[in-house]
């Protein structure tokens, strides 16, 4: 019978047996990112994967690529147009408005799958995971610093090398409009040199031309007016203050050509990139979106947010950063005494930072040690019939050949485990 395959651009994640370690890194990364979010006193929000298609049309902008070409939309059985969410921000704001929470401040996080019908390639999937943060109800200033601090914490916690945090300010609506007009005036006489995609961007959203992947367009743009000249001094000062404060933790670059793929941004925007990712080099992005809430029928709710692309991020994280200490608990012979399980139970409660792999099969010591080595255990705690009767345990170091194995009492075992 023909086998059924997964859909193009959609990954199965499986921790046990994934030779590339990507799945393991993804699961572990998600866990640790959640801890960082808790450190920043963010509260979880979970919204549905499916939404009314109009939500994304009105939020991302009719003219963004995401809404134009990448959205997974369907007619449901009632002939209503619904879509799989391509990103999380619009859903969060929809939910906050619906619950009448749009008059107060909130610091929220979410994690989950998003869908975009893009051409799959390395680091670009049709179903991918995002960890997002939305700080709602605070005007420009403090949240910008808090957000950059969070990004820096994440980069530091995971030891991400070779990465740059690009920051920019898109100005207020007036600055943005004045700059767009100047850009149109500059590009209009050069239109014959632009490709179809850039021409479309020029007519629909001129700022997006700055994001063109076409080398010829980029050459033309070298002489274009700079956004910096259209910004207020306080916007430039904000960028410089952020760079000054955080440059010792993370490589920060002010890039006046940085624009984002979604139309709802104004003010401060940012993207973190790594040269180790190839063409899809941005693993995190976000910015301020003060007008989105009112545009979706809610109150004025100045807000800022960001999302991490989990697959891209996890591929940058090295195994050594994520490696936990593992101990294998090996019982031998016919020992299936409930007591040994109780001892393992006690060990786990004594030191929650250690992963204890209780080997459940009835195989030989050799086979069990092989498994312990394979799962990267630092030690094996071994108890055979003789040890069991004497009340002793063998602690066998598995990684350091210079360390000798030792036979210890139960209290010594507890002390040893606690100190690991």
The residue ranges that bind ligand HAM (CB under 6 A) are 87-89, 116, 118, 124-125, 128, 130, 132, 134, 261-262, 282-287, 289, 305-307, 309, 311-312
The conformation of residue 7, written as its DSSP 8-state character, comes to P
Which CB, 307 or 322, lies closer to ligand HAM?
Answer: 307
Q: Shortest distance, CB of residue 344 to ligand HAM, whole angstroms?
A: 40
Which runs of consecutive H residues, i.e. helices, occur in 188-328?
196-204, 215-221, 233-246, 292-295, 310-316, 319-322
**In whole angstroms, what is the distance from residue 130 CA to residue 91 CA?**
13
Task: Round to whole Å and give the CA distance between 189 and 193.
Answer: 9
Question: 150: burial class by Cβ within 10 Å (0-12, 13-18, 19+)?
Answer: buried
Q: Which is nearer to ligand HAM, 93 or 380 (CB)?
A: 93
In whole angstroms, the minimum distance from the beta carbon of 171 to ligand HAM comes to: 17
CB of 21 to ligand HAM, least distance (A): 18
Is the separation of the CB atoms in 115 and 84 below 8 Å? Answer: yes
The span from the CA of 312 to the CA of 283, in Å, is: 6
Tell me whether residue 170 or residue 284 sits nearer to ligand HAM (CB atom).
Answer: 284
Residue 182, burial from CB neighbour count under 10 angstroms (0-12, 13-18, 19+): middle
Q: How far is the CB of 71 from ligand HAM (least distance, A)?
A: 12
Instruction: Judge whether 354 and 365 are in contact, CB under 8 Å.
Output: no
Q: Which is nearer to ligand HAM, 131 or 398 (CB)?
A: 131
**Least distance (Å) between residue 410 CB and ligand HAM:** 49
Q: By C-beta, is 151 or 398 nearer to ligand HAM?
A: 151
Q: How many other CB atoms sit within 10 Å of the CB of residue 234? A: 10
In angstroms, what is the minimal distance from the CB of 55 to ligand HAM? 13
Closest CA to 238 of 303, 320, 147, 154: 147
Closest to ligand HAM by CB, 128 vs 416, is: 128
End-to-end CA distance of the chain: 52
Shortest approach of ligand HAM to residue 289 CB, angstroms?
Answer: 6
Measured distance CA(281)–CA(10) in Å, rounded = 19
DSSP H helices, 137-274, are 142-157, 173-187, 196-204, 215-221, 233-246
Dihedral angle of Cα 275, 276, 278, 283, to the nearest 10 degrees: -80
Spatial CB neighbours of 377, under 8 Å, sequence gap ≥ 6: 326, 327, 328, 357, 398
Nearer to ligand HAM, 229 or 253 (CB): 253
Shortest reach from residue 311's CB to ligand HAM, in Å: 5
Nearer to ligand HAM (CB atom), residue 283 or residue 417 = 283
Min dist CB 128 to ligand HAM, Å, is: 3
> Residue 242 or residue 284: which is nearer to ligand HAM going by CB?
284
Strands across the sheet containing 379-383:
354-358, 325-331, 379-383, 392-397, 406-409
Q: Which residue's CB comes closest to ligand HAM?
A: 309
């Amino acid at each position: 019978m023909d086998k059924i395959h997964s859909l193009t651009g959609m990954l199965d994640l499986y921790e046990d047996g994934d030779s590339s370690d990507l799945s393991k890194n993804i699961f572990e990364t998600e866990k640790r990112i959640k801890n960082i979010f808790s450190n920043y006193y963010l509260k979880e929000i979970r919204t549905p994967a499916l939404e009314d298609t109009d939500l994304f049309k009105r939020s991302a902008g009719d003219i963004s690529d995401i809404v134009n070409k990448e959205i997974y939309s369907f007619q449901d059985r009632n002939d209503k147009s619904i879509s799989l969410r391509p990103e999380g921000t619009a859903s969060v704001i929809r939910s906050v408005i619906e619950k009448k929470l749009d008059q107060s401040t909130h610091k929220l996080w979410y994690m989950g799958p998003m869908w975009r019908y893009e051409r799959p390639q390395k680091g670009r999937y049709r179903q991918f995971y995002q960890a997002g943060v939305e700080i709602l109800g605070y005007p420009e200033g403090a949240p910008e610093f808090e957000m950059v601090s969070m990004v820096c914490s994440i980069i530091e916690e995971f030891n991400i090398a070779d990465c740059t945090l690009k920051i920019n300010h898109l100005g207020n609506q007036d600055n943005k409009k004045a700059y767009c007009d100047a850009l149109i005036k500059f590009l209009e006489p050069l239109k014959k040199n632009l490709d179809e995609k850039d021409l479309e961007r020029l007519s629909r959203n001129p700022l997006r031309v700055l994001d063109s992947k076409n080398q010829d367009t980029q050459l033309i743009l070298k002489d274009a007016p700079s956004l910096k000249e259209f910004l207020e001094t306080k916007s430039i000062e904000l960028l410089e203050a952020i760079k000054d404060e955080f440059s010792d933790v993370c490589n920060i670059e002010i890039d006046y050509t940085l624009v984002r793929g979604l139309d709802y941004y104004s003010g401060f925007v940012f993207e973190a990139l790594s040269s180790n990712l190839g063409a899809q080099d941005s693993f995190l992005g976000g910015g301020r979106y003060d007008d989105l809430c009112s545009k979706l029928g809610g109150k004025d709710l100045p807000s800022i947010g960001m999302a991490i692309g989990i697959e891209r991020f996890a591929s940058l994280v090295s195994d050594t950063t994520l490696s936990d200490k593992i101990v294998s608990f090996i019982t031998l012979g016919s020992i299936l005494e409930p007591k040994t399980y109780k001892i393992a139970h006690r060990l786990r409660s004594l030191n929650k930072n250690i992963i204890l792999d209780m080997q459940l099969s009835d195989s030989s010591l050799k086979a069990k040690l092989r498994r312990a080595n394979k799962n990267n255990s630092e030690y094996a705690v071994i108890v055979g019939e003789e040890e069991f009767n004497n009340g002793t345990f063998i602690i066998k170091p598995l990684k350091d050949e210079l360390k000798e194995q030792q036979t210890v009492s139960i209290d010594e075992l507890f002390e040893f485990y606690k100190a690991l």
